[in-house]
Amino acid sequence: MCQFTNLIHWLVLHSPLDIIEHHHHDGVDLFPDYGRKVPFGCGTSIVYNYLDYRFRNNTDSYFQIITYLTDTNLCGELRVCSPLENSYHILEEDAHFAKIDGHYYRKNTIVKQTIDKRTGNELKREIIKKSHAKVMYDYQP
């Protein structure tokens, strides 16, 4: 279920859709993830009857989410009925491990850029999340 909601969240982040309820896997980095494709801290948590993930379409366009499985992957697409004027990019900045009081912490900042497709200019830059997660596995710098 976590992978599914993480996929939905990743698709929504790359769109003009508004996230109205979102809960992070905060505070801990549970396992090493060398070669990750999605920045650390971009996940979302759901717990039946307590924590939801919700988003709203405040645009004039219709969106469709498609998910499917291959033999090895969970895949998803976010489709829209007409071309969007902007594109959306998720960046990880200042990713590093820090030793604080004898413990290692994983830190980074997740940024969402809104780019004008015509000009390539950045229209908006917003910080989505700042992570400060205690590393719970044997970390060797």
Does residue 105 belong to any structural domain of this protein?
yes
β-sheet bridge partners, residue 68: 75
Does residue 94 belong to any structural domain of this protein?
yes
Does residue 140 belong to any structural domain of this protein?
no
**pLDDT for 2:** 79
Q: Is the pLDDT of residue 34 over 90?
A: no
Does residue 141 belong to any structural domain of this protein?
no
Does residue 22 belong to any structural domain of this protein?
yes
Q: Is the pLDDT of residue 15 over 90?
A: yes
Does residue 47 belong to any structural domain of this protein?
yes
Domain that residue 20 falls in: 2-135
Tokens found for residue 78: 């976010």
**Count of structural domains within the chain:** 1
Tens-place pLDDT, residues 58-78: 999 999 999 999 999 999 999
Does residue 81 belong to any structural domain of this protein?
yes
DSSP 78-129: EEESS--SEEEEEEEEEEEEEEETTEEEEEEEEEEEEEETTT--EEEEEEEE
**pLDDT for 56:** 98
